[in-house]
Chains A and B, each alone.
Chain A
Amino acid sequence: MITYLWLIPALPLFSSVILGLFGPVMGPRVSGAVGTISVGLAAVLAVSIGLHWISHPPTNSIYEQTLWAWITLPGFSINLGLYLDPVSLLMVLVITVIGCLIHLFSTEYMHGEDGYSRYFAYLNLFVAAMLLLVLADDLAVLFVGWEGVGVCSYLLVGFWFSEPTNGYAARKSFVVTRIADIAMLAGLLLLSTKLGTLNIQAMLTGAVATWSAGSLMPTVATSLLLIGGLGKSAQVPLQTWLPDAMAGPTPVSALIHAATMVTAGVYLVVRTHALFLLAPHVLDAIAVGAVITLLVAAFAGLVQSDIKRVLAYSTMSQIGYMFLALGVGAWPAAMFHFLTHAVFKALLFLTAGAIAMRLNHEQNIFAMGGLRSKLPLAFWAFLIGSASLAALPIISAGFFSKEMILGAVAAAPMPGLILWACGILGAVLTATYIFRVVFTVFLGPLKTEVSGSYGVRIAVPLVTLSVGALVVGWLETPEGLGNQTIFSRFLTPAVGVFHHLPVSFMIPLLGFAAPLLGIGIAYVLHRNGTWARATTTMPSKLTIFIRSGCGFDMLYDELFVVPYMTLVRVLRHDPVDSMFAGLQYLAIVAHRRLRAMQIGQIRRYASWMMAGSVATIAILLFS
């Protein structure tokens, strides 16, 4: 079974090519079926490999499959190979299973849209690229997948291309991540020059053998890789593209900008964690940056009125938690939060899409209200998702993963407690902003007309993901709640043993209390009408500042966009060309002057000859 590993990325890639070439003649029904079934088959294959893996793990829990030699040169070669270990297996499972559900959802959601087959071609291509990213055994191959998902994201964010703002959002998302990718590329060049290989395992072994912890080289290399990861994962200071990326169709946001692509940065760090352990300062910086991101995003989430933008900021903030875990070296905690987040955030986005479908594509939460009884399926799904995002104790998956992270952070030696406190503050804010949405959308009087109904292709993904959002948390539970360690034991061969370190009893207690407090705040402010009032009154300067994501966009406009555009405008007509045109002008002027001298007057010629002779003699005499 495992020998068919290559089929997992190949299936969606193949169907993407088929859809790209023949999509327009296949019609929507067939296109949707081809797109969904290919990912479905990949999911089935992945699940069966996973099941087999659990019963009979391969030696060292690593399975490698070399496909072909990509580049072989003296002193530099890259093999195109797949590398399956527990971390990549987990990623593959999440990508294919959630990807399949989202494809299924899309077949109904995108019904009747222009470019239906194009949509599935892009979405399949995305899945293929993402799978290549997580399965690659070489950083250069990983980079192929890395840029591949970026392009698919660009194409899908700008899917409705006749709207110029969508195009702008798409370009912004690509360019911001591209800037980060160039840093990553520089990191690859550095690693490959210094260590002679980009094969991840060989490179890590080489790095550990040649570099000492804290020395300059690993610090520079990991910083460069990290910038790449921050861009892809929408972390401060490269986060500005994510809220705008919500211009794409909602299932795209669910798949790319919530469940999979944006967590590529987390994956990259986990994949190369041996290298990052050589750069403790970079790890510290990751933790601090993560806290900043999670707070900035949580505050921004508090004042958005577009449901998708709330979710976008919450994604940013939750990935901040994952990076926080990475910063303290709690790799399994980051991966666990990745798993639960993928489930509940996909659920939230899909539900948001399902709601908008029935409300004539309304996304403003304040235009909604009282949808609880009208849309029971969406209500329950969104509630479960929100509970999980808010980390509601015991019943939600998000609780267990966030608990694992905060426990690890609190036990960390660095100013762990300060980071932990920020994490708790973030948890309160998270619960507040998401239940602000829940209360506004589902309680109160009905404000909009509700049309249509949900088919089975909407219901199945929502129900499946809801169940997932309730149960996946039990894979890893803290002491006192069963002390289950399936998840961390599964990952142990790849990232080492994870210890739930003992912390003061206050830590889990506050972890319990924070979401409840947040929900309470949200409810109180909902009851006294503060949330609704905020939309009618003039927002304060502070609110505007926070709503715009703390002014990063404005700053970057001033720092980069305006100078760039000025430069382009100055250069547009090619000043170098004008210089050469100057030569031409000079020739013309000289021509005119010389012609003017040739007027046929012997007198004039004679005087010129005289002057010339005198000058020559003078030069001869005095030189």
Chain B
Amino acid sequence: MIKQGMRTAFMALAVAGGMLAASPAYADGTLTVSSPQDPGSWDPVDTFLVNWSSVATNIFDGLTYRGPDAKLVPGLATSWEVMDEGTRIRFKLREGVTFHNGEPFNADAVKFTFDRLMGEEGKKGPQRSNYAAIDHIEVIDDSTVDMHLTQPDPVLLTKLAGYGAMIVPPKYIAEKGEDYFNAHPVGTGPFKMVSYEPKVGVKLEAYDGFWGEKAKLSNLDYRFISEPSTAVAELQAGRVDLVIPPTIPIGMIPTIEEADNIKVVTTASPTVYALRFNTANGITKDERVRKAMIYGVDRKAIIDAVLGGQAAEIASFQGELSFGFDPDMKPLPYDPNKAKELLKEAGVAPGTNIQIDIRGNNATFNEVSQAVASYLQIIGLNATIKPYETNVMLNDIIPQGKTGEMFQQSWGGWTLDFDNTAYLMYHTGEKWNPYDSDEKLDALLESQRAITDQAKREAILQDIAKYAADRALEMPLYNLNAIFGVSDRVKNFTPVPDSRLRLNEVSVD
């Protein structure tokens, strides 16, 4: 019997060995990328994950394009004109562009894309809500479309550069069906998909017919590796050339820096971290207490000591890339004496207990919150840290207002516009704002949404940031860098802030 068991096991091994053959050798011009998550579908309508974008930015184009410099430039539209007080945008379309299957790109493809996003197919997915301002597309001629809006959306042109607004091929989807398209996407981008193996990886190859700068790589392989130590081991072993965020934690940076032939490349990202206050209950109801706590924590020291300098101090809940960022606005200084004074003034007895709720899965933030707790101890507050499983925290603890005095919020919208953050964090009744209600703030937030004059909008967004800081609605902590692990064989790599990583300019030795 045992003999038989052995034989079975032997056979299983033999079959395994035979089926999987030898590891592939690296052909010239193949870049292997480790990405932390398989989005499950490549259809732009279905997506909600940044790691959809890190692959799909190479497959699809939008009407507009935004590269690593965060500037909006023409994509599949060569120019556009905002008309009718911002309720109509006329796009001139690029001519002679073809999809990977040979199908021509034209006004019909644009109309199909947005009809689909706003119609039955889009209804099932999360992307539609970002484009709610779009009413319909009117085809003017083969290379001109008018996008009619129900109301002006000042961020729309940016949103057209990514995610749900990627232009998809009408004939291909009609012929092959929606299910097929999920796993076999076709776009107009510099790379086309060759194969997709769920949970394992996806292989792309250069598209010769690309309208822009053609890819220097012949092949682009993505492997889905979620465990940071595994991804870094693959990088060290030379089997992966590029590890993209969010994978590498701060703590692993020294490991990469010490190793030969690989390095760490970082850039500012939209991701900001704050400990927000429960402004409805407990001692943090008092603005003086909230300010005292901000004065009491040396955020600069935390950035240097815990984050290895891979972050920037922030004065509001946004980083420098954000539209609405005010370089003149400075964070409150570290001043423990002032903090103690304010606490005394507010009648908070030394030794008062408070609770900080954090997401338990983030080792780096765990350390940060411990440092915060130690600083609070110095000004006389006993902080207990309570870790939650991320989804429980996001779906229950915060929206239902069950947090302690402070709770972790990390945020980073790819549109790089403070509206996306501020509205959701500060407007009355929003999911991420379970405690506060401020009429003045609500009015400010609503007013900027209807304005197309960008300078005016920027001024209002800056006012919102100042107002929120004056009321001390959160303890702004830092703006974390996007961290890439890169092999030395990778040339001409430019890190991007938002995971929308297009690799047509990259080459390998």
Do A and B interact? no
Interface, chain A (partner B; CB < 8 A) = none
